[in-house]
Amino acid sequence: MGESIKLQLYFNENIERENQKFFFQYTWKKHLGELKKVILYTILFLSLGFLPLKSLNLGPVTVIFKYGSFLFIGYITLLLYQYFIAKNKTFNLIEEQIENLRRTHDEISFITLHQDSITVKNPFSTINCVWEKTNYKIVDQYLILNIQNINFIFTKSEFKENEYQIFLDFILQYSKKAS
């Protein structure tokens, strides 16, 4: 068994807030894509149901398009409601977590890298996992590390000097890239 490398991360509330807000937007990106599709379908159904298109002559089928467009409008409203409720709740939780981190005396987090496992310790929890159960994804300047279905977001600015490169080298070598 090889030596371990221990990396320190100091708490910075601005970086933490930025990372968490990025992750919220990243996870909702798929749902917002769905919203765009629903808006296009709504416009199509509204056009076919309410605009007098003499060349199509849809007859009684326009009634289906009229009621369908109202269903799509309801679905758009539901998606927007869910988004804003989740955003408000998530941002409140982010602020609560940052306040809790600010109140703790031990504001240092550690990442311990071994050849066979990784350990992430913050003031609230310690998670140890073998590399086979760890995967990563790099989006823009963010590294999303998934350890046992728990996501951690890291950026280069959280690390000292070349520690981010050491961390990234370990991640690239031992963990799997997420699809």
Q: For the whole model, what pTM was predicted?
A: 0.77
Q: How do residues 88-131 score in pLDDT, each as one tens digit?
A: 999 999 999 888 877 775 567 889 999 999 999 888 788 999 99
Q: Phi-psi category of 17—alpha, beta or left, where left has phi over 0 and alpha has psi -120 to 50?
A: alpha
Residue that has been written with the tokens 């869910």 in this structure: 82
Contact at 8 Å (CB) between 35 and 76? yes
Q: Are 22 and 60 in the same domain?
A: yes
Domain that holds residue 122: 5-10+107-177
**Mean pLDDT, residues 11-37 taken together:** 88
Q: Is the pLDDT of residue 160 over 90?
A: no
153 bridge partner residues:
144
Number of other residues whose CB lies within 10 A of the CB of residue 42: 19
Indicate if 152 and 95 belong to the same structural domain. no
Q: Which of 148, 142, 158, 139 is nearest to 117 (CA)?
A: 148
Q: What is the pLDDT of residue 129?
A: 92
Percent of the chain having pLDDT more than 90?
49
pLDDT tens digits for range 26-67: 999 878 888 899 999 999 888 887 776 666 666 777 788 888
Number of domains in the chain: 2
Q: Is the pLDDT of residue 1 over 60?
A: no
Tell whether 98 and 111 lie within a shared domain.
no
- Residue 123 and residue 134: Cα distance in Å, rounded? 21
Decide which of 103, 132, 149 is a domain's last residue: 103
Residues 56 and 114 in one domain: no
Query: What DSSP state is assigned to residue 120?
Result: E
